Structure 1
Amino acid sequence: MIEYSLGKDEFKDWLVSEVEFSPDSLGKCESIMYLGNGYMGLRSVTEEPYLKETRNLLVSGTFNKAAKNEVTELPNLADITRLDIRVDGERFSLELGQTSSYLRQLNLKTAELTREVEWVSPKGKELRFYFRRFVSLDNLHLIGMKMEVEALNDPVQLSFDSGVNAQMSNSGAQHFLEGERRIYNRRFIELIQTTNQSNVDIAINTTHKLMLNDKELSLDPDMDMGRRKVWLTFNVSLEPGDVFTSEKITTIHTSRDKEFDKPGYEIGKLRDFAHNELKESALKGYDKLFDSHVRVWQEKVWEAYDFEVDSKHTFDQLAIRFALYHLTIMTPAHDDRMGIGAKALSGQGYKGHSFWDTEIFILPFFTYSNPQIARSLLTYRYRGLAGARKKAIENGYKGAMYPWEAAWPTDGEVTPAWGDVDIVTGEQTKIWSGLIEQHITSDIAFAIYQYYVVTNDQDFMDDYGYEMIFDTANFWASRLEWNDDNQEYHINDVIGPDEYKEHVNNNAYTNHMTYFNLRLAIQFYELLQTENPARFKQLNELLRLDPNYRDWKLKAENLYLPSPRKEDLIIPQDDTYLSLKQIDLSRYKNQKQVRGIYKDYNPEQINQLQVTKQADVLVLLYLLEQTFLNEDQRFSYEVKESNFNFYEPKTLHDSSLSLATHAILANDIEKGELAYSLFKEASEIDLGPSMQTSDDGVHAASIGGIWSAAVFGFAGVRISCNGRLKLNPCIPKHWNKMKFTIYWHGQPLFITITQETLSVVAVNKELVELEVFGKVYTCEDHMEIPISSANE
């Protein structure tokens, strides 16, 4: 059972707590309480082992292909968290003996996992165990663990095994060669792993410090090695009242690290560096290392983002902090060669691959809150241009056709070919998204546009952005198909965001986003030609811009764009959606677990039903409103309202991406109570009471959506049609205040919203133009606007 109200005083609304232990429901807390720093993610498995546990240590960028017939994935590194603990020779396990008290907590503020257990052994010995763990944000390579054991009533003999266990796999697939193992001075353990295809070296080093009643012990442990495993065994006698403490400090380094991934690399250099760093860290000890880690969290995260919600429901504040915590630990801010996985670094789901999730649901947070990290994530996509161009050629197109699933930038498309069982045939279902879910290419173009307008980062555009926009437009121009009957261009045989509709023609989202991509390329061509002729000349030579420009204009002017029907303003999701069979969807709308419809229908049958997996037309309306197309009458308030009312009842939200978009649009069309309900539902995808929703890992895009629903929804932050910052706040009735920081053209803005007023502080005292409910204001210091008068 999960509780969110146990935090007191300075930790009020900061704690995620597990108050009961269940060996059959381990995945939830392993995922939502996972620790990380963007370089690595450590799943929060218990120290003692259980049958249904999943031990994962994932390091960004270390992709490997386990076998020729598999796709590349993040390999599961050796485990350093397991402790085999024995009390008087009996195994410590919460499935044995009696547990008189239990509490496991993730402290979001300090990014530390703790667990306190009072346990009575089968022989009646009472002990208190207190475990602590963190993954450092100060030193990205460091993991700290600490265990306290107190004998409460009788003498006990305590024994435990601790080391490095490389007998791990990814769902049975082994990614590593048998590695080197060594123990130095009966204290420092080293294990070297090398991936079997990508040849990435991993150096794992660990050491222990032991104390009894705060006095350091000098024990002589037993040393052992097994296949892919090396460990020490410690034995200590405890009298009643004695407190034994073990600190375990571990460092992780790889040959993909920037300091090693260069000419002249030798594994010996990696080994020596890692070994020496461990020694230096061990001298500091857990507490000093932890204090440094907490300080960095405070400075780089909590003070920098400064997001407060004064709500009658304190869960709302915790949900925002949960989102900021996970957005921080999922993001490889240290290296622009790496992206964000759909399950972050919390589990093996989706193999660590990046999807459109990043650009549409996660990147906006960084674009507005930490532009430097946003730039890094977009540079990752630039580094993937080679793979995107390769995919275009392989599919018979030109330009850059971005992979649906991406891993290492040059890997290209890494979507698996086969998926779950077909309930009709019993065969594996074909995964078509890697071939025909192509809207990700224009999603990346949208993300570049949004980043540029918000940050005004001209250097990024000159170095990377223009080239990406132009070559994605080249892809779409080559992708369009001429329809002679209608005298227009169509986009046939695609999958839109609604992945329950495969092989459709003229998906509204895909067509309109393609049009946006082409129009954006046309704008930038004309802009670059006059404002930076030297860069224009370079790109013209590289991409043949002059003839392609004429092609973009021709294709954009003649591209079929599904428009609102006159009778009801509904935009057809595709050519056939509105004529499909309608069924009663109530049982699926009220389902406790997603994808329940697959228990009754296979993909081919679902394709014939008027049912939607996730926001499709609605996410289109939400995105294009933030572009230069937002004055198009096809995207008016009335169109938004009509399409929301039509499509939401048909949407099962079987993707975690969906709820946040619906929450934002519900607020836009003045359905405030529904908007908050959807915001809360989105927050509960991982934080909710169900103990099975997060077994494979957290839902990274949905976590980004929590922030988006609050900032784009309740605060009404958008880009206006003329490039101004727009705020149309409408916070939930039970929120007294929301406060947060965003960046606009490099300047931080402190924004505070109450039920009555909107307050904006321009930190650098640089003039900023704001549009609030259609009225234009200028602010160069501090401005307070009564919301009622602004909204008249």
Structure 2
Amino acid sequence: MMSYTLGKGEYENWIVSETTFSPDALAKVESIMYLGNGYLGLRSATEEPYLKERRNFLVSGTFNKFDEFEVTELPNLADVTRLDIRIDGDRFSLELGGTDNYVRQLNLKTAELIRSFDWTTKQGKKLRFNFRRFVSLDNLHLIGMKLEVESLSDSVEVSFESGINAQMSNTGSQHFHEGEKRIYDKRFVELIQTTTESKVDIALNTVHKIVINGKELTEDPDMNIERRNVSLNYNIHLEKGDKLEMEKLTTVYTSRDKAFDTSDYQLQTLRDKALADLRASYNKGYEQLFKESKQAWLDNVWNKYKFEVNSEDPYDQLAIRFALYHLTAMTPAHDNRMGIGAKALSGEGYKGHSFWDTEVFILPFFIYANPEVAKSLLKYRYFGLQGARKKAKENGYKGAMYPWEAAWPTDGEVTPVWGAVDIVTGKQTKIWSGFIEQHITADIANAVNQYYSITGDEAFMDDYGYEMIFDTAIFWASRLEWNEETQEYHINNVIGPDEYKEHVNNNAFTNYMAHFNLQLAMKYYKKLQEEKQALFSKLNNKLNLEAVNKEWQEKSEKLYLPEPRSLDKVIPQDDSYLSLKELDLSKYKAQDKVGGLFKEYNLEQVNQMQITKQADVVILLYLMEQQFTHDIKKANFDYYEPKTTHDSSLSLSTHAIIANDLEENEMAYSLFKKATEIDLGPVMHSSDEGVHAASIGGIWQVAVLGFAGIRVLDGELHINPRLPKHWIDMQFTFYWRGQALSVNITQENLDIVAEDKKPVSFISFGKKYQFDNQINVHLS
């Protein structure tokens, strides 16, 4: 059972808790309480093992391909968290004996995982356990663990085995060669792993410190080296009232780290660094290392974003803090060659691959709140141009055709070909997204433009952005198909955001976004030609811009853009959607677990119904809102919302924002709440495969771009707040054109402080304001 009210004092609305242990519902807590710092992610499995556990230790960028018939994925590193504990010789497990006062909790503010309980052996002996764990934000390579065991009633023998266990896999796929193992000084444990195909070296080191009643244990442990496993065994006698403390510190370094990914790389250098870091960390100890990490979270996250919501329901504040925690934990801010996985670093789901989720649902947070990180994420896409150009060529197109699923930037398309079972045929369903879900190319171009509009970062555009926009436009120009009958260009045989509609023609979202991509390219072509002739010449030589600009002009003018029907102002999602039969989705929209539809229908049948998996036309209304009137927004929201199952976690946030724009306040908040409950809610199997990264980004989007009403339209900042009626106020900091703006919004007032006292102009509910220090706007 989950609880969100255990935080007291300074930690009120900071604590995510599990108050009842269930061996059948381990995965949810492992996921939503996972620890990470963008470099590594550590799923929060319990120290003692259970049958249904999922132990995942993932490091960004270490992709490997198991064999030629599988796609590349983030490999599951050796496990360092398991402790095989025995009490009086019997295996310790919460499935045995008796447990009282159980609680496992993640403190979002400190990023520490804590688990505590009283446990009674089958002989009636009582012990008190306390487990602590953190992944450092100060030292990205460091994991800290601490165990405390106190004997409450009798003398007892406690023993445990701990080390590095490389007998792990990715649900069966083994990504590592058998590596060298060693124990230094009977204390420092080392294991080397090397991926089978990509040849990435992993250096893992761990060390233990044992203290009994405040005095360090000096007896040597038993040492064990086995196949893919190296460990130490400790045996300790406790009298009644005695307390055992064990600290375990681990470091991980890889040859993908920028410091080692060099032409003169040597494995020994990597090993020496990893061991030296562990020795230095050992001298500091758990408490000091945790203090340093806690301070890093305070400085780099909580004091930077300054996000507070004063709501009559305190859960709202916790939900937003949960989002900020995970946005930090999932993002490889340390390395611009790496993206964000759809399940973050919380599990093997989607194999660590990056989707459009990043640009549409996660990147906006960083553009507004931490532009340097946003720039890093966009550079990852720039480095991915090589793979995008490869995919375009393989498919018979020109320019850059971004992969639907991306891993290492140069890998190109890595979407698996086969997926879940077809309920009718019993065969595996073919995954067409990697072949024909192509809107991601325009999504990335739009994200580049969004970053530039908000930050004004001209240097980024010169070095990366313009080339990305031009090359994606070259792709679209080559992708368009001429329809002789209508004298228009069409985009046929695609999948739009609604992945329940495959092989459709003229998906509205895809067509409008492609058109926008072409328009951007022409706009920036003209700008560079007039203002940056040297850069224009460079890119012209590389991409033949003078020739393709004429093609952009001609084709964009004749590209078919589905218009609202005169009857009801509804934009056809694609050429056939509005002619399909309808189905009452009430029971599917109310289901606890997504995908219930496919227990009754297969995808081919769903393809013939007006059923939408996730926001499609509705997200077009959001991303391209300047092109649509309020009436068109309302007509399409009212038409498509009842037909949308929200089976994709990224859907609810978009619908919440549009509902808020339409002043459907109660619906907007309800959709926001549902979005937060995808991971935080009471359903205990909603997050088994990992957290929903896009939905987490969407939580922030609803709060800031929705309720606070912050948008950038045609280069101008708009702030149109519409807070939920039970939100008393909200405060946060965002960046506009390089300056931090601190915002405070109540039901009646909008207050903004320009931290650098530079001039700011913005529009609020149609009226333009200018200030250079601070301003108060009364919200009528």
Pairwise same-fold verdict (TM > 0.5)? yes
Q: Which amino acid aligns with 2:744?
A: T
Q: Which amino acid aligns with 1:766?
A: K
Q: Which residue of 1 aligns with 2:674?
A: 681
Q: Which residue of 1 aligns with 2:443?
A: 443
1:708 maps onto 2:701 in alignment? yes
Q: Which residue of 1 aligns with 2:646?
A: 653
Q: How far apart, in 2, do the equivalents of 1:738 and 1:197 lie?
A: 49
Q: How far apart, in 2, do the equivalents of 1:652 and 1:608 lie?
A: 15
Q: Which amino acid aligns with 2:639?
A: F
- Shift of residue 119 of structure 1? 0.2
1:780 maps onto 2:772 in alignment? yes
Q: How far apart, in 2, do the equivalents of 1:490 and 1:213 lie?
A: 76
Q: Which residue of 2 aligns with 1:639?
A: 632
Q: Which residue of 2 aligns with 1:551?
A: 551
- Shift of residue 516 of structure 1? 0.2
Q: Which residue of 1 aligns with 2:137?
A: 137
Q: How far apart, in 1, do the equivalents of 2:391 and 2:229 lie?
A: 40
Report the number of matched residues.
780
Q: How far apart, in 2, do the equivalents of 1:99 and 1:9 lie?
A: 27
Q: Which amino acid aligns with 1:345?
A: L
Q: Which amino acid aligns with 1:646?
A: Y
1:290 maps onto 2:290 in alignment? yes
Question: Is this contact kept in 2: 1:770–1:779, CA < 8 A?
Answer: no
Match of 2:737 among 741, 745, 748: 745
Quote the sequence identity (%): 66
Q: How far apart, in 1, do the equivalents of 2:27 and 2:277 lie?
A: 33
Q: Which amino acid aligns with 1:655?
A: S
Q: 2:285 aligns to what SS in structure 1?
A: helix
Q: 1:104 aligns to what SS in structure 2?
A: strand
Q: Which residue of 1 aligns with 2:50?
A: 50
Q: Which residue of 2 aligns with 1:97?
A: 97
- Shift of residue 277 of structure 1? 1.0
Q: How far apart, in 2, do the equivalents of 1:603 and 1:16 lie?
A: 37
1:172 maps onto 2:165 in alignment? no
Question: Is this contact kept in 2: 1:146–1:248, CA < 8 A?
Answer: yes
Q: Which residue of 1 aligns with 2:332?
A: 332
Q: How far apart, in 1, do the equivalents of 2:219 and 2:123 lie?
A: 26
Post-superposition Cα deviations, 1:320-379, rounded to whole Å, max 9, x if no partner, equal 000000000000000000000000000000000000000000000000000000000000
Runs of 5+ in structure 1 lacking a partner? none
Matches within 5 A, 1:335-346: 335-346=335-346
- Shift of residue 185 of structure 1? 1.0
Q: Which residue of 2 aligns with 1:572?
A: 572
1:487 maps onto 2:470 in alignment? no
- Shift of residue 724 of structure 1? 1.4
Matches within 5 A, 1:472-621: 472-621=472-621
Q: Which residue of 1 aligns with 2:199?
A: 199
Q: Which residue of 1 aligns with 2:317?
A: 317
Q: How far apart, in 2, do the equivalents of 1:745 and 1:296 lie?
A: 26
Q: 1:150 aligns to what SS in structure 2?
A: strand
Matches within 5 A, 1:105-504: 105-504=105-504
- Shift of residue 720 of structure 1? 2.3
Q: How far apart, in 2, do the equivalents of 1:219 and 1:37 lie?
A: 35
Q: 1:297 aligns to what SS in structure 2?
A: helix
Post-superposition Cα deviations, 1:428-447, rounded to whole Å, max 9, x if no partner, equal 11100000000000000010
Q: 2:478 aligns to what SS in structure 1?
A: helix
Q: Which residue of 2 aligns with 1:760?
A: 752
Q: How far apart, in 2, do the equivalents of 1:675 and 1:124 lie?
A: 53
Q: How far apart, in 2, do the equivalents of 1:176 and 1:438 lie?
A: 33
Post-superposition Cα deviations, 1:267-295, rounded to whole Å, max 9, x if no partner, equal 01111111111101100000000000000
Q: Which residue of 1 aligns with 2:689?
A: 696
Q: How far apart, in 1, do the equivalents of 2:245 and 2:434 lie?
A: 51
- Shift of residue 608 of structure 1? 0.2
Q: How far apart, in 2, do the equivalents of 1:749 and 1:37 lie?
A: 26
Q: Which residue of 1 aligns with 2:71?
A: 71
Q: Which amino acid aligns with 1:658?
A: S
Question: Is this contact kept in 2: 1:727–1:773, CA < 8 A?
Answer: yes
Q: 2:164 aligns to what SS in structure 1?
A: strand
Q: Which amino acid aligns with 1:717?
A: I
Q: How far apart, in 2, do the equivalents of 1:599 and 1:143 lie?
A: 42
Q: How far apart, in 1, do the equivalents of 2:369 and 2:530 lie?
A: 31
Q: 1:179 aligns to what SS in structure 2?
A: coil
Q: How far apart, in 2, do the equivalents of 1:490 and 1:20 lie?
A: 56
Q: 2:341 aligns to what SS in structure 1?
A: coil
- Shift of residue 215 of structure 1? 1.5
Question: Is this contact kept in 2: 1:194–1:202, CA < 8 A?
Answer: yes
Q: 1:167 aligns to what SS in structure 2?
A: coil
Q: How far apart, in 1, do the equivalents of 2:530 and 2:288 lie?
A: 56
Q: How far apart, in 1, do the equivalents of 2:462 and 2:258 lie?
A: 24
Q: 2:180 aligns to what SS in structure 1?
A: strand
Question: Is this contact kept in 2: 1:405–1:434, CA < 8 A?
Answer: yes
Q: How far apart, in 2, do the equivalents of 1:282 and 1:263 lie?
A: 31
Q: Which residue of 1 aligns with 2:657?
A: 664
**CA RMSD between the two structures:** 0.5
Q: 2:73 aligns to what SS in structure 1?
A: coil
Q: Which amino acid aligns with 2:214?
A: D
Q: How far apart, in 2, do the equivalents of 1:123 and 1:259 lie?
A: 54
Q: Which amino acid aligns with 2:341?
A: G
Post-superposition Cα deviations, 1:585-630, rounded to whole Å, max 9, x if no partner, equal 11111111101111111111110001000000000010012xxxx1
Post-superposition Cα deviations, 1:148-186, rounded to whole Å, max 9, x if no partner, equal 000000000110000000000001000000010000111
Q: 1:350 aligns to what SS in structure 2?
A: helix
- Shift of residue 190 of structure 1? 0.1
Q: Which amino acid aligns with 2:778?
A: P
Q: Which residue of 1 aligns with 2:763?
A: 771
Q: How far apart, in 1, do the equivalents of 2:718 and 2:68 lie?
A: 51
Q: How far apart, in 1, do the equivalents of 2:773 and 2:100 lie?
A: 57
Q: How far apart, in 2, do the equivalents of 1:214 and 1:325 lie?
A: 34
Q: Which residue of 1 aligns with 2:39?
A: 39
Q: How far apart, in 2, do the equivalents of 1:651 and 1:712 lie?
A: 22
Post-superposition Cα deviations, 1:398-417, rounded to whole Å, max 9, x if no partner, equal 00000000000000000001
Question: Is this contact kept in 2: 1:673–1:732, CA < 8 A?
Answer: yes
Q: How far apart, in 2, do the equivalents of 1:504 and 1:114 lie?
A: 50
Match of 2:718 among 718, 726, 736: 726
Question: Is this contact kept in 2: 1:720–1:771, CA < 8 A?
Answer: no
Q: Which amino acid aligns with 1:473?
A: A
Q: Give the stretch that moved more between structures: 32-41 or 265-274.
A: 265-274
Q: 2:179 aligns to what SS in structure 1?
A: strand
After superposing on structure 2, the runs of 4+ consecutive aligned residues of structure 1 that deviate more than 3 Å are none
Post-superposition Cα deviations, 1:120-165, rounded to whole Å, max 9, x if no partner, equal 0111110001000000000000000000000000000110000000
Question: Is this contact kept in 2: 1:750–1:763, CA < 8 A?
Answer: yes
Q: How far apart, in 2, do the equivalents of 1:531 and 1:743 lie?
A: 26
Q: How far apart, in 2, do the equivalents of 1:425 and 1:734 lie?
A: 50
Q: How far apart, in 1, do the equivalents of 2:747 and 2:546 lie?
A: 53
